[in-house]
Amino acid sequence: MISVDVISKSYGDVPVLQDIQFNVEKGQTVAILGPSGIGKSTLLRLIAGIDPKFEGTVSRPKNMAIVFQEPTLLLWRSVFENIQLIHPELSTEAVREALSEVGLADKADLFPGQLSLGQQRRLSLARGFAGNPDLLIMDEPFVSLDEKTADEMLTLTERLISKTQPATIFVTHDTTEAARLATQILTLDGQPATLKIKETLK
């Protein structure tokens, strides 16, 4: 179980986040909604442990995965190595399986720069799920994609989540996206931002 308890987070003298408490069980998907600039990504960085400077505690499992807005790939290593180097415990077949899961089976030997943006995003998604994470964190993974690609990505993500069943926390500003993936929606609002609405779906 992941439990988040952020008492406060400030940048310098400016408080950004305050009193944010929630838990996520394995198999649950929590969407964090809110207008841009409210501090959603900041909250994710606290949860992921990227930014340790805040007041409060987050208990998180060891086996985590993250999918960023940008694909954030190792552009100097092949598509195959982009999964294998991050998950050295996986066998060659398991890496190929993860690639074919997102439709990149025939691209294994290319460099990420040779892929389209949509394909790079799918590789980033495959990297996230490949290690069967206990906690998956996604930061606006479908932003700035055209409608069709975004929809494909959503369907793919839905399938991968139901297959691996991680605890998922993802950030978005799109209500329909949130409604489609999430079992629970949390809305950030205010200055400093805090949890305003908790709504349980499904």
Partner 1 sequence: MSVRAFSLLGLLGFWFLVAWIAADPMVLPMPQELFSPLWAELKSGELLFHLSRTLIRVIWAFTLAMSLGLALGLVMGLFPHVDRWLDPWLVVFLNLPALVLIVLCYLWIGLNETAAIIAVTLNKIPNVTTIIREGARSLDPNLKAMAQVFPMRKQSVLQHVILPQLAPFIAGAARSGIAVIWKIVLVVEFLGRSNGIGFQIHLYFQLFDVRLVLVYALSFITVMLLVEWLILQPWEKRVRRWRTA
Report the alpha-carbon distance of residue 46 to residue 54 in Å, rounded. 8
Per the rule left: phi > 0, alpha: psi between -120 and 50, beta: everything else, 181 is alpha
Residue that the structure tokens 């409060």 belong to: 56
Report the alpha-carbon distance of residue 157 to residue 140 in Å, rounded. 12
- Residue (of 130, 143, 18) closest to 69 by Cα position: 143
Calculate the CA 27 to chain-centre distance: 14
Binding flag, residue 77, partner 1 (CB under 8 A): yes
Binding flag, residue 110, partner 1 (CB under 8 A): yes
Each residue 7-36 as x (binds partner 1 by CB under 8 A) or -, in order, gives: ------------------------------
Sole binder of partner 1 in the list 88, 147, 148, 176 (CB under 8 A): 88
Sole binder of partner 1 in the list 7, 85, 117, 201 (CB under 8 A): 85
DSSP 173: S
Binding flag, residue 167, partner 1 (CB under 8 A): no
| Binding range to partner 1, per CB under 8 A, among 5-13, 30-38, 66-74, 152-160 | 66-74
By CB under 8 A, how many residues form the interface with partner 1?
25
Sole binder of partner 1 in the list 7, 75, 197, 201 (CB under 8 A): 75
Report the alpha-carbon distance of residue 99 to residue 112 in Å, rounded. 13
Residues at the contact surface with partner 1, assessed by CB under 8 A = 45, 48-50, 64-66, 68, 70, 72, 74-77, 81, 85-88, 110-111, 113-114, 131, 137
